[in-house]
Amino acid sequence: MDRRQEIMEAAAKSFSLFGYKATTMDQVAKIANVGKGTIYTFFSNKEELFNAIVLKMIEEMRAASDAVSIEGASFKENAHARLMQMLKFRENHKLYAKLIDEEKELRTPAVTEVLAQIESEIVFYIKEKIERAIAKGELKPCDSELVAFLLFKSYLALVVDWGKTHDEELAEERILGLLGGTIFNCLLA
């Protein structure tokens, strides 16, 4: 493993444990077992290092979502599987979960900005899938960005927010049934 990668892994560990605000370059250097100057040969500041880690996390989320896609399955089935995978990633990825907590508790501007960037990337990813499905004739032409936003926010609300105000989480089948009978059915060509 190269030094840059070691530094990124150490920083990801520090950000995951302590959050963005509490992480220092000194901590990252200690975890990576390098001098602080070594970090600055690869990254000019904490923000640049943080952004590199977040971009890597977004790539990992895309890869995890693509991995659940089934060749030959309908757009609805694959969209559902991908969106559920993204939300599982969001919940289970230590850094992502820490960023969400830090944003709620401290409202750190850099974290708020990064979470907005991640959401934008998710919507763009969904938009790409919608546009491919339109080109294949699986879906009706639509405003792909608005529909992507609607799908993401609908899944987020049903998977994450529902449990905050109700005694039980919604089963995946119930979510798919609801969105399949409403949003997805309206999109199908």
Over residues 79-110, the pLDDT tens digits come to 999 999 999 999 999 999 999 999 999 999 99
The answer to whether 185 touches 140, Cβ cutoff 8 Å, is: no
Place of tokens 């030094």: 3
- Do residues 89 and 61 lie in contact, with contact meaning Cβ atoms separated by under 8 Å? yes
- Render pLDDT for 101-146 as a digit per residue (tens, 0 to 9): 999 999 999 999 999 999 999 999 999 999 999 999 999 999 999 9
Q: How many CA atoms lie within 13 A of 1 on its CB side?
A: 9
Alpha carbon distances (Å) from 96 to 1, 8, 73, 76: 24, 15, 29, 26
**pLDDT given at position 115:** 95
Tokens standing for residue 1:
């493993």
What residue has token string 């529902």? 162
| Per-residue 3-state assignment (H helix, E strand, C coil) for 79-136 | HHHHHHHHHHHHHHCHHHHHHHHHHHHHCCHHHHHHHHHHHHHHHHHHHHHHHHHHHH
pLDDT at 1: 62
Locate tokens 């907590």: which residue?
101
Helix (H, G, I), strand (E, B) or coil at 170: coil
Angle, alpha carbons 64-65-71 (nearest 5°)? 110
Structure tokens at 101: 């907590």
C-alpha 45/C-alpha 13 separation (Å) is 17
What is the pLDDT averaged over residues 168-172?
A: 93
